[in-house]
Amino acid sequence: QLQLQESGPGLVKPSETLSLTCTVSGGSISSSTYYWGWIRQPPGKGLEWIGSIYYSGSTYYNPSLRIRVTVSVDTSKNQFSLKLSSVTAADTSVYYCARHVATSGYYDYWGQGTLVTVSS
Amino acid sequence: SYELTQPPSVSVSPGQTASITCSGDKLGDKYACWYQQKPGQSPVLVIYQDNQRPSGIPERFSGSNSGNTATLTISGTQAMDEADYYCQAWDTSTVVFGGGTKLTVL
């Protein structure tokens, strides 16, 4: 059974960089069938796509976040990571990592999510 | 940028059929999928590729997608189906979510 687990600081100061890692177990991140993505959800609000990465390193980002986002992959550790720079209170959200089926564009496995609060 | 529009809320009586719509320009030309999210939980895929149900999703969940509208239909709605539902599409390497619909079973 595939599992994804987010990890990283739960509190980040304004203007700093948010960094999260997603560890994939029960399957290989190097599969050609999937992308690996980050999605966030502000408290009480809807889902927002952040970006996706292929095992080769090809990335796709939400245009509204592109200038602040970097998603990377480490196939040796079966992990992928998110960096979001210059954070503000508006970036306070539950951050999810998920597996993204490449051909059809849906997310079939999700992590449990991790709340990141931006506050001084 | 591409946008998907959902009604903020839908109400249904137990045992009746609930329909949740998702509108976007030429959405029928893309694959649509749907997620169910209950409070404090991660989203769960309930429909993919317009009308396919993942393993473990009850048959009462079905989907369609044509023209500018995708629809999630829940037949014989049960109290356990009360949740937020999100549509999502994949457009030119961009993932787009609808704003979400709160389904109330009353």
Q: What is the per-residue pLDDT for A102? A: 86
Q: For residue B40, give Cα distances in angstroms to A41, A58, A112, A115, B49.
A: 11, 32, 9, 11, 26
Query: How far does A56 lie from chain B, in Å, by closest CA?
Result: 16
Residue of A nearest to B3 (CA): A48
Interface test with B, best of A6, A61, A93, A106 (most B CBs within 10 A): A106
Query: How far does A40 lie from chain B, in Å, by closest CA?
Result: 11
Query: How far does A16 lie from chain B, in Å, by closest CA?
Result: 26
Reading the block at residue A75, the tokens are 């196939």
Residues whose CB falls within 8 Å of the CB of residue A55, separated by 6 or more in sequence, listed in order: A29, A30, A31, A32, A34, A36, A73, A75
Decide: A17 and A116 in contact? Cβ < 8 Å: no
Phi and psi, residue B89, nearest 5°: -135, 165
Block residue for tokens 């509208």: B69
State yes or no: pLDDT of B51 exceeds 90: yes
Residue A63 to residue B1, Cβ atoms within 8 A:
yes
Sign of the alpha-carbon torsion through A80, B90, B86, A60: positive
DSSP-derived secondary structure for A38-54: EEEE-TTS--EEEEEEE
Sign of the alpha-carbon torsion through B101, B57, A54, A94: positive
Phi and psi, residue A91, nearest 5°: -90, 0
List the single residue in B33, B96, B99 with the smallest CB-CB distance to A106: B33
Is A111 at the interface with chain B, CB within 8 A?
yes
Q: What is the per-residue pLDDT for A114? A: 98
Mean pLDDT of B78-94: 93
Phi and psi, residue B93, nearest 5°: 65, 20
User: What letter does residue B79 receive in the DSSP assignment?
Assistant: G
User: What letter does residue B52 receive in the DSSP assignment?
Assistant: B
Residue of B nearest to A60 (CA): B93
User: What letter does residue A33 receive in the DSSP assignment?
Assistant: T
Per-residue pLDDT of chain A (120 residues; tens, 9 = 90+): 999 999 999 999 999 999 999 999 999 999 999 999 999 999 999 999 999 999 999 999 999 999 999 999 999 999 999 999 999 999 999 999 999 998 888 999 999 999 999 999
Mean pLDDT of B12-38: 97
Residue of B nearest to A4 (CA): B42
Block residue for tokens 């999810």: A96
Decide: A109 and A24 in contact? Cβ < 8 Å: no
Q: How far apart are CA A61 and CA A64, in angstroms?
A: 8
pLDDT in tens, B55-65: 999 999 999 99
Decide: A18 and A84 in contact? Cβ < 8 Å: yes
List the single residue in A47, A105, A111 with the smallest CB-CB distance to B86: A47
Q: How far apart are CA A19 and CA A40, in angstroms?
A: 13
Reading the block at residue B87, the tokens are 């549509």
